[in-house]
């Protein structure tokens, strides 16, 4: 086993950390307070190749591996989880599925502008009555002349108000009410209309909107993969995307730990630094241990994916552990800072608010447990059958 990062991975990690410290951290509190989407930031990220880290160079990307991309998400989220969410959805949930499932023509047409950061990507699956049960979606696509006419509404669409390319899922078989009748489409901004910007607990520098698709006509060349095979696209996308959310959770928790440790080394009570008290030391020890354990699960899942190995179960394990760890340890950071931790003078209250969503989007913790259990039971069944 080799747990070290390669020279290229360390270089990308260092590049992202330096950018995050200079261009993101100083503004993160203001973006959160103002609920402002920092649109001007993303051309700067694109100039460094960070909007298409793991996209091949022939399609406008940096040509790095998937683990390098995960390192980028961790570092961006360490500075501002909203920025991490924007890049994660743009890359994992829009660019990579087109790269994996698209035709040569679709890859050549849609991927380079995304990888170069010329347009942002969005993922439109969830609806008001189709959340965890995504296969029950009602947005419909009907055959029309040389293509399809799409009508419906989507909810919780990250980047939806700013995206130029949407990976959107609609029902093309009216005879089915489950996942078997779903098809994936690639839409442009002109095909959708943002109707409501959500006011959220955290991730206030990311944009989350509801969208309407009002009889948008698209050609047959906008179908990604095959008609009625869209749910396979969605589930394959989420398999990789949840690893990115796990990396986001690790980045948030690491930022909380960094703040808590620095505070403990400076804050004095009863004539001593609070870092000298065993109660605080144990909190820091537990925080560091859980963060590192989650990080290793995340890196392992990312490695499995880039090696082309099964990663559905490991990815779900990484997201489950990392997201619940982040929620616990950001709370512990607030506890170490005491009253200051409950104020906006320090960033740990923001980390706490940002951490909660990692237990919800791209599959709740409850859904992750189902995915893990099914993976374990399926592998056990294969083992028994082979005996």
Catalytic residue numbers, as ranges: 362
Q: Which string of DSSP letters, residue by residue, matches 301-312?
A: HHHHHHTT---H
CB 318 within 8 A of CB 294: yes
- CA 334 to CA 379: how far, in whole Å? 41
Report strand pairing: 268-269 vs 272-273.
Answer: antiparallel
Q: What sections of the chain are H helices per DSSP?
A: 7-19, 25-34, 41-47, 66-79, 81-90, 96-101, 104-115, 230-266, 278-306, 312-337, 348-356, 365-386
3-state SS track over 170-182 = EECCCCCCCHHHE
CA angle in degrees (0–180, nearest 5) for 179-185-191? 125
CA distance 74 to 312: 20
Closest to 367 (Cα-Cα) out of 197, 184, 245, 233 = 245
β-strands 163-171, 120-124 pairing = parallel
């Amino acid at each position: 086993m080799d747990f070290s990062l390669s020279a290229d991975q360390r270089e990308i990690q260092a590049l992202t950390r330096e950018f995050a410290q200079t261009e993101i951290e100083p503004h993160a509190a203001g973006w959160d307070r103002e609920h402002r989407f920092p649109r001007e930031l993303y051309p700067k990220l694109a100039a460094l190749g960070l909007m298409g880290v793991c996209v091949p160079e022939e399609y406008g990307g940096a040509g790095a591996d998937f683990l390098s991309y995960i390192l980028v998400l961790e570092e961006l989220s360490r500075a501002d989880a909203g920025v991490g969410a924007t890049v994660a959805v743009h890359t994992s949930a829009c660019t990579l599925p087109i790269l994996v499932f698209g035709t040569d023509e679709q890859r050549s047409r849609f991927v380079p502008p995304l990888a170069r950061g010329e347009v942002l990507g969005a993922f439109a699956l969830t609806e008001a009555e189709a959340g965890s049960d995504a296969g029950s979606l009602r947005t419909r696509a009907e055959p029309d002349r040389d293509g399809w006419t799409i009508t419906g509404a989507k909810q919780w669409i990250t980047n939806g108000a700013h995206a130029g390319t949407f990976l959107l899922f609609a029902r093309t078989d009216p005879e089915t009410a489950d996942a078997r009748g779903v098809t994936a489409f690639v839409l442009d901004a002109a095909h959708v209309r943002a109707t409501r910007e959500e006011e959220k607990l955290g991730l206030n520098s990311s944009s989350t909107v509801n969208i309407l698709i009002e009889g948008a006509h698209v050609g047959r060349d906008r179908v990604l993969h095959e008609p009625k095979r869209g749910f396979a696209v969605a589930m394959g996308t989420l398999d990789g995307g949840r690893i990115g959310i796990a990396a986001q959770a690790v980045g948030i928790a690491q930022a909380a730990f960094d703040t808590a440790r620095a505070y403990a080394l400076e804050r004095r009570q009863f004539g001593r630094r609070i870092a000298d008290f065993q109660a605080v030391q144990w909190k820091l020890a537990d925080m560091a241990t859980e963060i590192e354990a989650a990080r290793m699960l995340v890196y392992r899942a990312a490695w499995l994916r880039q090696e082309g190995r099964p990663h559905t179960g490991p990815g779900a394990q990484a997201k489950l552990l990392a997201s619940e760890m982040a929620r616990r340890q950001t709370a512990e950071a607030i506890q170490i800072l005491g009253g200051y931790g409950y104020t906006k003078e320090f960033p740990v209250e923001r980390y706490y608010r940002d951490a909660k969503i990692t237990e919800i989007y791209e599959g709740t913790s409850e859904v992750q447990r189902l995915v893990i259990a099914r993976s374990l039971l399926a592998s056990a069944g294969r083992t028994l059958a082979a005996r």
